[in-house]
Amino acid sequence: MELEEIEVYGPNNADIRGGIITFNSTEIHPHDMGTALDQLGIAIRAGHHCAMPLATTLGLNATARASFYIYNTQDDIDQLISGVKKTLDYFSHGSKQPR
């Protein structure tokens, strides 16, 4: 997900990354991102993720986290990216709900 409004934390090397993608938007609080994506049927987590000392060290109030496993498909990833884009558009332009 290469969007200038999104910062992804962790290694860029997919061989060592694992199935958890932690990210933040420069425009939207993680809890708002989670709520908007939930309205689109996309489940993510928002908060400290049992890593509050790390979040504090990084100067973060919270982060958003998408978790993937063997049962996820490319379509799931595409839906997440599409949902994030719709959410960014909604919060940027104040238009209709992200649907």
The H or E element containing residue 79 is helix 74-93
pLDDT at 98: 55
> How many domains, the chain?
1
88: how many CB neighbours lie within 10 A of its CB?
21
From CA 11, how far away is CA 9, in angstroms rounded? 7
Percentage above 90 pLDDT, the chain: 59
| H or E element, residue 20 | strand 20-25
Active-site option among 14, 16, 50, 70: 50
* Segment 68-97, tens digit of pLDDT: 999 999 999 999 999 999 999 999 876 555
Q: Could you tell me which of 40, 33, 49, 34 has the C-alpha nearest to residue 91?
A: 33
98 domain-assigned: no
- Full residue range of the structural domain in which residue 34 is found: 6-93
Query: Is the whole model's pTM more than 0.85, yes or no?
Result: no
Does residue 90 carry a catalytic annotation? Answer: no
Q: What is the CATH number of the domain that holds 45?
A: 3.90.1150.10
Q: Is residue 99 part of a domain?
A: no
Kindly tell me the burial class for residue 11, based on how many C-beta atoms sit within 10 Å of its own C-beta (0-12, 13-18, 19 or more): exposed
